[in-house]
Amino acid sequence: MGPVLVEEFVGEARPDARLPLELKLHMFNERVGAIALVERSSAKGQPLSGRFYSASWEPFSDPMYPKYSPADPVPAPSWLPELLRAGKRLGQAYGTYVRVDFLVAGDGFVFGEFATTPGGRWTAFADEYFGRLWQETFPEAL
């Protein structure tokens, strides 16, 4: 038998428990472009809600990703510096653009997944903003 991947269970084992919050760090090497805080519903057909924040946890005024229903701003988690360190370390290891996803778990977070080509439609602001970050961070790649 080959290698086996085991993923940590994140959430509460109750029938009425909600899905864990997701934090999606848009990394340009070790530069944090944006952090999306996303809440999913376990009910089929329910929209995702989310909001984008800067690395200093300032909410962006633009929704950036219209697939998310706008969520009200929330205070920064106490472990934000630790989250940013993890994102920067993983982004630097990739050396290019990567979205690093974490799940909120108890009093902290756990790694979720990498996404090198996140799909979907972005707002004009997000296209311009992320495009500018790409140009500034990876000018030789253009």
pTM listed for this prediction: 0.86
For 1, 6, 74, the CA distances from 32, given in Å and listed in that order, are 39, 28, 19
pLDDT at 108 over 70: yes
User: What pLDDT digit, counting tens, does each position of 11-31 carry?
Assistant: 554 455 567 899 999 999 999
Domain residue spans of the chain = 22-141
Per-residue pLDDT at 96: 93
Query: H helices of 64-123, where?
Result: 80-94
- In single-letter form, the type of residue at position 36 comes to A
Q: Which has the closest alpha carbon to 31: 102, 104, 119, 135?
A: 135
CATH code, residues 22-141: 3.30.470
Pairing assessment for the beta strands 68-70 and 48-53 based on DSSP bridges: parallel
